[in-house]
Every structure is written in structure tokens, then in C-alpha cells.
Amino acid sequence: MSGAGGVRSRKDLACTAAATAYQKAFGAELKRRVVEQGEPFAIAQADTPHEIFHVLDIPVISNQWWSAYISAKQLSASYFSVMADEGYPSGNCKYCSLGLACTLANDPATAPWGGLPTPTVLVARLTCDGIQQVFGQWAAALGAEFFPLEAPAWTVHDGAWFEHSSERWETIYQAERIALLAEEMRDLIALLERKTSRRFDEAKFVRLMERINEQEGYIAEAAALVGAARPCPVSIADQMPNTMIPQWHRGSDWAVAHARRFRDEVAERVQAGTAVAPNERIRLMWIGAGIWHDPGFYQALEQRLGAVFVWSMYMPFAGPQYIRALHGRPLDALASRICAMNEVLHLPPWMNGWMVSEARRCGIDAAVMLIPPGNRLSQSGTRLTAQALDAAGVPVLMLDADMVDAQRWDHDGMVGTVARFLAERGLT
């Protein structure tokens, strides 16, 4: 399959099949609990405290996961057409608004699960102007309550935040910002307890946080192994699902065991000298969310040019942004994890400081950066990060494309663009 459409990716790891099978079964169970049995559930942005829902045993649907799910089913074009017909601007953030578009389409025949029923609550951090509009209107369309979380300015401009974020989180992320989010989380817990008659178990929460630390430690070890290995033993087509699927279930017995299994399989491949591309000559960095409608894009130049995507944000992000010493304050520790999750991925100096460090750690030769139209947050720090990488000797190609909207994407054309860029930079 080639041309304008997406191409399937090659999966090399046995644990990848296990992860996708688990997520498929989870999706079926989630549908049964939410759609068929009418259990309470939440729709939440990825950068919100999912741990609260896990402790309360309330199913949570991540907006980004739901968007990727819709996109993978090749439904985004028709749903965005509905938004256009309803008078929404074409330049809206596709990643955050695809779920709203699905609801507005109101077409049970095409929608995954026949569409989402009314959730108990929708939760999002107000990280950009569009979020409040999207979630406010989505809540109104579903007849549900929207619970916003503030995203106050972060004034500790430490470009090396990742070196001491796990232990010194109060200093790095600022005590007042942590206190605000912790208080908002207490309000969210109270709302959920009132609406569902379920009770937040503090001991269960502490155990969950400890298990998450264990899980993220395994993923961090896998990231270190991949970055140090020559040639690269695991492509990002395997890195992404083995990191992100456990993240949606973080702290569960399955997620911890799977992260360990992933780390072990990566170690086995490193020990055996197994390579994604035996002729590896170019090590690439992918900056941005995944191209969910064309996962095969990342492997298209491996055999032809020996160009391997070694790095994406998902796996190396696990250690510095998730692992937290609890210091007897688990809710504050969770707040420190959540309160800057988007900022360190999208805004200077945190984004560029971390990515330059990661490029050096992994021996990156060039980077490809996704610039999704209309997604303000994903565009915010990109040019400064590109300049920082270029100054560090890592040229950057910016791709004008979207992670869930395939209308402006052409597989062969994009692969050709990357190939020409590498040739122009003298890397082929």
C-alpha cells in the first residue's frame, strides 16, 4: 500500500503483538463497561491526572488516544467535513478536536463503538486557548460537565530540568504551581466521589504511584539501551506501542510486567547485535506526536538509505517526566508530574534543552519535526528547538502535516521529502 494512503509498519518485537492484543481486549472491555453497561467514565486529555480515575476504578478515555483510534480507522476526513459544515474554522487543532467532530457527526453507523455516551466528566488542562473551547463545546454536545485544570506560567527556566526532575520536583516545577494543581485535583476527587459514590483510597493511590515508578524505570532502561546501541535494535514502530499502551494503564500489574518484558526484549536484541537496519548509516530523531494514519512512514528509508528513526519522545520521556520520589506527599508528586507535561514537550527552554541533550545521547544525525497546522501548542517552541538542534550539528526538516488528519498527507511524497533533505545535507 503506497501513494496518498497510509502504510502499515513492520513490528519486530514479540511484546509489541502482546501490547496491541491487550489494548484491543481493553478497548472491547471499555466499550462493554461504558457503552453497554453504562458505568461512569471520563474523557480526559493525556496531560491530566489519569491516576485519580484508576484509583477510583473509573474508566478513562484519553482524548488523544480516541483521536488516534478514529484516525487509524480513516474516519478523520469525513468528521472534519462535518465540522466545516457546522461552521467551525478549518485551522482548528485537529488532534484535540477530532473527538468533538465525531460527536457532532452523530453517525452511530460509522463512529467507533457507535459513538460515546454521556461521560461523568470531561477534564483538560487549559494549555492553549483552543482547549477551553473544544472541551466546553464537546461537554455541551454530550450533555456532560467540563472540569478545567489551570496551566499557570512556569517561571523556573531550567533547560536541564530532566537531570533532577525525579527528586527535586518541587524546585523544578515550582511549589505554588504544584499546590494549585493539587488543590484542583482534590476538587476533582470530590466531584467524582459525589457523582459516582466511589471513594478515593489513599493507600491504593500510594501503591499505584510506587508501581508507576517501577514501570517507568523499566522504560527508561530500555531508552538508555536503545540510545547507546549501534546499530539501533528497535525502531520507533515498536517503541511507541510498547511505551504508550502501558502508559494508558500505568501502575497496573499488566503495565508493570509489560514494561519489564519490553526492557528485557530490548536488552536481548542489543546483546545479540540485532539491527533494525543492518546497513544503518543515518540516525534520525522524530519530534512530535506519531503519524497515526501512516505508521509505515518511519520505516520507509531503512533499507534504501540505512536511515533509521531511533528516537521519538514517548520512550525517553518516561524517566524524567513520570518517575517521582514521593517524599511522603504523593498527591503533590503527581501534581508535579502533570503540571508541566505539555510544556517540556513543546515550549522553550525546556523542549529544546531536553531534545538537544537527547540528540547527543543517541548520536542523532538529523531530525524530522512535525508542524501540525492549527495546533498552536505543537508549533510553539519548534523553531527555537530547530535552531538549537542545528547549532548542535543536527539539521532539522519541518514537515507541514497533521498527526490525525491525512488529507494533506501523501506517503510517497513525504518519504521523498525526507530522502531529498538527507541528500541535501550530505548524509546519503
The domain in which residue 207 lies consists of 14-424
- Regions in the chain scoring below 50 on pLDDT: 1-3
Determine, yes or no, domain membership for 7. no
302 neighbors 226 (Cβ within 8 angstroms): no
Tell me whether residue 3 is in a domain: no
Question: Residue 101 has what pLDDT?
Answer: 93
pLDDT at 73: 84
Note whether residue 289 is domain-resident: yes
Q: Please spell the DSSP secondary structure of 15-75, one letter per residue.
A: HHHHHHHHHHHHHHHHHIIIIIS----EEE-TTS-HHHHHHTT--EEEHHHHHHHHHHTT-
**Is residue 222, in this structure, part of any structural domain at all?**
yes
Count of domains observed in the chain: 1
Would residue 132 count as lying in a domain? yes
Alpha-carbon distances of 78 from 5, 14, 84, 142, 272, rounded to whole Å: 15, 35, 10, 20, 46
Instruction: Return the pLDDT at 35.
Output: 87
Report yes or no on 348 lying in a domain. yes
Q: String of b and e for 28-64 (b: at least 16 CB within 10 Å)? A: eebbebbeeeebbbbbbbbbbbbbbbbbbebbbbbbb
* pTM, 2 dp: 0.92
Assess if residue 125 is contained within a domain.
Answer: yes
Q: For position 10, what pLDDT does the model report? A: 85
What is the pLDDT at residue 317? Answer: 94
Predicted pLDDT at 3:
47
Which pLDDT score, from 0 to 100, does residue 8 have?
82
In sequence order, the β-bridge partners of residue 364 are: none
Cα distances (angstroms) measured from residue 237 to each of 11, 295, 327, 400: 7, 7, 36, 21
Length of the chain as a residue count:
428
| Residue 68 within a domain | yes
Name, in order, each residue with C-beta under 8 angstroms of 270's C-beta and a sequence gap of 6 or more: 225, 229, 233
Q: Distance between CA 218 and CA 223 in Å, rounded?
A: 9
Q: Are the beta carbons of 411 and 7 closer than 8 angstroms? A: yes
pLDDT, position 376: 55
Please report the pLDDT score of residue 374 as a whole number. Answer: 59
